[in-house]
Structure 1
């Protein structure tokens, strides 16, 4: 994984969220990264940091706490492409059609959530 990928994905999710989330981090053990062809993919669950505002804490509940999926073509920007439903599909990221099946298999279907 490129060293900046985790920070880039976190920043992209923060910008694309409503409200925007500045004080978040990937939940420990939930960050996945890989590529298929020229497209990079990432998945993570996000949690608020100690500096999070009340609005950020509220936004991080329910759907905000679901696994989020991202893609980036070439040197483009990370884009949120999908989110787990509630409740989460028991097949994890294997059920997310935007994630290539070989990558979901490599990530063990994103089911290793602590």
Structure 2
């Protein structure tokens, strides 16, 4: 699933080739027939200068995804910069029940 979500982000932003979900910050769930995911990405060791600069500007905030009727993962939106104070609850494309289950995308540090 992480690879399918990463591929969806690469389709939306082709300049990000060498990325992976940030460990410990991948959220996944389902409401009805639709699956949702949220994750920030980090560059891999193979990322070049252009990707690293772009990650500073766009790639490092949490991204949100959902499946389409045929099961394909698509990019929906990203957090603002800085992110909203209520985490996933600030993202209208994520169902409230799922945001609550994800504890508004809170992660332990």
Q: TM exceeds 0.5?
A: yes
Q: RMSD of aligned C-alpha atoms?
A: 1.4
Count of aligned positions = 109
SS at match of 1:35: strand
Q: 1:59 aligns with which of 43, 54, 60?
A: 54
Q: In 2, are the aligned partners of 1:68 and 1:84 still within 8 Å (CA)?
A: yes
Superposition misfits of 4+ residues, deviation over 2 angstroms: 73-76
Instruction: Assess, with a 3 A threshold, how the Cα gap between structure 1 residues 100 and 112 changes in structure 2: closer, same or farther.
Output: same
Superposition pairs of residues 1-114 of structure 1, within 5 angstroms:
5-19=1-15, 21-112=16-107, 114=109
Q: Which runs of 5+ in 1 are unaligned?
A: none
Relative to the length of structure 1, the TM-score reads 0.88
